[in-house]
Structure 1
Amino acid sequence: MRRTTAALAASATLFALLLTGCGDDEASNAIPSTTSSAPSARGGETQAVDSMKAGAFVVSFRGAFPKLAEGKDDAKIASILSEGCKDIKAGKSEDEAVKNIIKRAGGSTEPSSEEAKAIYQMAKLMC
Structure 2
Amino acid sequence: MSRTTAALAAGTAVFALLLTGCGEDSSTAAAPATTTPAVQVDPGKAGMFVVSYRNAFPKLAAGRDDLAVSGVLNQTCSDIKAGKSEADTIAGIVKSSTNGSVSATEQEARAVYDMAKLMC
Report if TM-score (shorter chain) is over 0.5: yes
Contact 1:49-1:82 within 8 A present in 2 as well: yes
Written as runs of structure 1 = structure 2, the 5 A alignment for 1:1-127 is 1-22=1-22, 47-108=39-100, 109-127=102-120
Offset of 1:57 from its aligned partner? 0.7
Letter in 2 for 1:124: K
Deviations 1:71-124 (A, max 9, x none): 110000000000000000010010000000000011132111111001001111
**Which portions of structure 1, spanning 4 or more consecutive aligned residues, are displaced by more than 3 angstroms?**
none
Bigger radius of gyration among the two: 1
Taking structure 1 as the reference length, the TM-score comes to 0.77
Q: Distance in 2 between matches of 1:46 and 1:116?
A: 20
Contact 1:14-1:122 within 8 A present in 2 as well: yes
- Unpaired stretches in structure 1, ≥5 consecutive residues: 38-44
CA RMSD in angstroms comes to 2.5
- Unpaired stretches in structure 2, ≥5 consecutive residues: 30-36
Taking structure 2 as the reference length, the TM-score comes to 0.82
Offset of 1:46 from its aligned partner? 5.3
